[in-house]
Amino acid sequence: MTEQPVDILLVEDNPSDVELTVHALRRERLANRIEVVRDGEEALDYLFCRGAYAERAPKDPPRLVLLDLKLPKVDGLEVLRSIKSDQRTQAVPVVVLTSSREETDMVESYHLAANAYIQKPVDFDQFRETIKQVGLFWLVVNASPPPAAFQRGPARGAS
Amino acid sequence: MLACAAGLFSAGTGALVLVGWFLNIQPLKNLLPGLATMKANTAVSFVLAGVSLWLLAPEEAASSREVWRCRGARGTAVFVVSLGLLTLGEYLAGWELGIDQLLFEDPGTTAYPGRMAPATALSLTLVGLALFNLDAPGDSRLSPLLALSATLIGMLAILGYGFGVSSLYSRWAYSSMALHTAVAVTVLAAGVVFARPGRWPASTLVSDSAGGIMARRLLPAVVVLPVLLGWLRLGGERLGFYDLPFGLALMVASSIVLLTILVWWNAAGLERADRARMENYAMFSSLFRSAPEAIVAVNRVGRIVLVNEQATRLFGYEVEELTGQQVELLIPDRVRAQHIAHRATYASDPRMRPMGSGLELIGRRKDGSEFAVEVSLSPVRSANDFLVMSLVRDVTERTRAEEAIRRLNEELEQRVLDRTARLAAANKELEAFTYSVAHDLRAPLRQIEGFSRLLGDEAGVDLLDSARHHLTRIREGTRLMSQLIEDLLKLSRVGRQELHLQVTNLNTLVEEVVEQIRDDIGERAVEWRIQPLPFAECDPGLLREVFVNLISNAAKFTRPRDRALIEVGTAADGSGIFVRDNGVGFNMKYSDKLFGIFQRLHRLEDFEGTGVGLATVQRIVHRHGGRVWAEAELNKGATFYFTLGTLEQSEPAEPAGQGGGS
């Protein structure tokens, strides 16, 4: 694995969606450092430097996680819960990117402190536009959390 | 009452005589000149005995509640007895105690001046003893027997005066009982006898029974008649109307005649009473026998005294087999001890316990079989016993019916639970299904759409026009499919989501919808007529969906019109809301297909749509307990009506803005 810090962690099981998403990001030159994982377990392994990612430097979290909800093994909401309940990862912006517009999914995602919830449009133009906006906002407009944000949980004792 | 009067009479007589002695008024002492005087000691005794009787007269004196009454009465009685016994002692033993003239000097000429007659002394002693023993424990006959003996002595003396037989009142020539002494003793003693009317012998005389009636009728006659006849006979003889044998015969004959008349009269009266009583008895026993319920009468110790036919039939015994047996014979062994305890409790506090007051027991038939019974109890008191009338009802059938109902209820509940569980499972499955549709059906669409688009982009100008056209059709397909999925999910959500009812201004809702649709349709001449609508209790989000569907349909199907007219209002009879348009309408032949899912009455090229909108409308209206229907004519227009079960008949809101859109 590359030792270079990653900008976007794309958690997506559908290869077409991976391809279309990466295509859209690349078009906007936002996909320089993009890591794709294909299920929830892999995502957690990556984020917490376990399993195949045991060698990864843990102090370099991705600047953005694009998270599908319907994932094999560990589902998206579970991944979200793990990210947001661990002080090493809770500052990472997580954007839920899913086909679903079910209210329960939205409510549950926001309860688990998702930073945004976006339904993937079927129309490719809209899809491309959405991905572009997300990438631009979180990687260009938004100031990513500084390293200190990952060392000390807000008002939370170190575990 | 009687005893109280007798006591006062006695005390009054004694007091008057004492006054006579004190003031030396001769008529008070002996009533008539030449007759014996009532002695001072006798008068004192009458006063004391009278007070004693007066004190004892109220029945409650027997209880220890008023101890002073009892003690006072007994004290005075003891004094009377002592005085009598001492006087008798003077006569019999020849004592000279000096009590005779203790109070007053007797100027009389008798052998013992101031001393009461022996008969007086004896009768007073007897009365005193009777008073003393009135409420004494032990044989309650002692007191009345003593008093009756005293009455006898008094009456003999009165008879002596009446018939002029001096030996009857002056047993010894030197001392005789005064007339008023005789009367007072008789009254006093009779008062003692009747002081306790509930006891022997007075009870017989005052009872309502045939015996009591007879005693009350015959006794005065038996006392008065011989006296009267004897007095007449004696008088006639003395006047020389007839000699002794004739007089005797006359008396016997008149006695026979009078007594016979008396007996006849009495017998006739008794017979009447008895016949009425027998009729009563016959009626009641027939009531008892033919009562529709089984009746078992049990006495204080639990023995069966009476049973009726229903009871014998119910328990399978003969009358003879039950009478005299313990009532526990009719109860299963295992609850016998318990029942005996219950019976004891009941005997100590017998109360009416009506049927259905929770007294459910188990009965046992002769053959040992058991059955559920309901029992009502009522105590019946008689003179010296009390019976418990038990009405016994076989409730086997009822219990069985109740049991059946309970079981049915349980089964029903179980079935409801099962169904609910199955329904919940089905719902869950459905939810999983829609979830899956939402996620998984869209992904391939995006794939088709995305890559066909990329293909078009990358191939660019190299593509033939026809190929470009094909790509466009592919993308149209995906768009339609995407819309279908969207609509289907909406329909499913409408069915599943909870209703959040609130009173809603329908005009506001409609205005918002119209505003939105106006924007969508852009440059078209549409006249909007929105009448005042009522407030309705509904889920505003869902009802908004109803209006969106109906009004956008109206907008869609009026597209060919140069001047479209869309109307929203309340039906003339106030029964519902309508949305009307002057669009292309439809043939009523197909009206039953209108609200079916994926049902479309127009070609897709003419009017776009998925065929889900009206199905959604119908589902929402049904969920509100309402109904939706349509009236239309081809090429003239269509009107959609709907009602809400929750529609409130309240004042319509302010007329909403009307006007033509452009």
pLDDT given at position B510: 93
Q: Is residue A3 part of a domain?
A: no
d(CA B559, CA B542): 26
Nearest CA in chain B to A68: B439
**Min distance B437 CA to chain A CA atoms (Å):** 9
Contact (CB, 8 A) for A121 and A50: no
* CA dist A36 → A1, A12, A51, A82, A128 (Å): 12, 7, 16, 18, 18
- CB-based contact, A129 to chain B, within 8 Å: no
pLDDT given at position B168: 63
d(CA B78, CA B88): 15
**Min distance B444 CA to chain A CA atoms (Å):** 8
Contact (CB, 8 A) for B439 and A98: yes
Q: Is residue A25 part of a domain?
A: yes
Q: What three-state secondary structure class fits B390?
A: strand
- CB-based contact, A141 to chain B, within 8 Å: no
pLDDT given at position B657: 41
CATH code (residue A19): 3.40.50.2300
* CA dist B18 → B8, B29, B40, B468 (Å): 15, 8, 6, 155
Q: Is residue A152 part of a domain?
A: no
d(CA B375, CA B149): 54
User: pLDDT tens across B478-525, in order?
Assistant: 888 888 888 888 888 887 778 888 888 999 999 999 999 888 887 888
Alpha-carbon dihedral of residues B283, B289, B295, B297, nearest 10 degrees?
A: 70
Residue A83: band (very low, low, confident or very high) from pLDDT cuts 50, 70, 90: very high
**Min distance B601 CA to chain A CA atoms (Å):** 28
Domain span at A50: 8-139
pLDDT given at position B138: 76
**Min distance B599 CA to chain A CA atoms (Å):** 25
d(CA A109, CA A104): 8
Q: Is residue A150 part of a domain?
A: no
- CB-based contact, B446 to chain A, within 8 Å: yes
pLDDT given at position A2: 44
For residue B613, the tally of other CB atoms under 10 A from its CB is 23
Q: Looking at the predicted structure, is the pLDDT value of residue A159 above 50?
A: no
Contact (CB, 8 A) for B544 and B569: no
Contact (CB, 8 A) for B323 and B293: no
Looking at chain A, which runs of residues are DSSP E strands?
A: 8-11, 34-37, 64-67, 94-98, 116-119
Q: Which two tokens stand for residue B76?
A: 């005075």
d(CA B53, CA A105): 104
Strand ranges across the sheet with B628-633: B628-633, B637-642, B577-581, B564-570, B526-530, B659-661
pLDDT given at position B565: 92
Q: Is residue A154 part of a domain?
A: no
User: How many domains does chain A fold into?
Assistant: 1
Q: Is residue A97 part of a domain?
A: yes
d(CA B147, CA B192): 6
pLDDT given at position B64: 55
pLDDT given at position B198: 80
pLDDT given at position B171: 52
pLDDT given at position B173: 37
* Phi, psi of B431, rounded to the nearest 5 degrees: -65, -45
Instruction: For residue B444, say if its preceding peptide bond is cis, omega within 30 degrees of 0.
Output: no
- CB-based contact, A23 to chain B, within 8 Å: yes
- Residues with Cβ within 8 Å of A20's Cβ and at least 6 positions away in sequence, in order, are A124, A127, B446, B447, B450, B451
**Contact residues, chain A, for B479 at CB < 8 Å:** 122-123
How are the residues of chain A apportioned to helix, strand and coil, as percentages rounded to the nearest 5? 40, 15, 45
Write the DSSP symbol of residue B592: G
Which of B428, B436, B440, B449 should be substituted to probe chain A, the one whose Cβ sees the most A Cβ atoms within 10 Å? B449
- CB-based contact, A98 to chain B, within 8 Å: yes
Q: Is residue A2 part of a domain?
A: no
Report CB contact under 8 Å: A99, B453: no
pLDDT given at position B650: 45
Q: Is residue A28 part of a domain?
A: yes
Give the residue from B154, B6, B129 showing the smallest Cα distance to B76.
B129
Contact (CB, 8 A) for A65 and A94: yes
Report CB contact under 8 Å: B439, A14: no
**Nearest CB partner across the interface for B449, out of A69, A103, A123:** A123
User: pLDDT tens across B553-606, in order?
Assistant: 999 999 888 889 999 999 887 778 999 999 998 888 888 888 887 777 887 778
Report CB contact under 8 Å: A98, B454: no
**Min distance A106 CA to chain B CA atoms (Å):** 13
pLDDT given at position B648: 47
Give the residue from A96, A101, A124 showing the smallest Cα distance to A16.
A124
Report CB contact under 8 Å: A101, B438: yes
- CB-based contact, B445 to chain A, within 8 Å: yes
Contact (CB, 8 A) for B478 and B449: yes
Nearest CA in chain B to A12: B443
For residue B560, the tally of other CB atoms under 10 A from its CB is 11
**pLDDT averaged over consecutive 10-residue blocks of chain B (662 residues)?**
87 90 86 83 90 82 67 88 89 84 78 83 90 82 89 86 71 65 89 85 81 84 85 85 86 89 88 88 86 87 88 90 89 85 79 66 88 86 78 87 93 93 87 76 87 85 82 86 84 81 90 89 86 88 92 91 91 84 89 82 80 89 90 90 68 42 38
Nearest CA in chain B to A101: B438
Looking at B260-315, which runs of residues are DSSP E strands?
A: 294-298, 304-307
Interface ipTM = 0.79
- Residues with Cβ within 8 Å of A74's Cβ and at least 6 positions away in sequence, in order, are A39, A40, A41, A43, A44
pLDDT given at position B383: 65
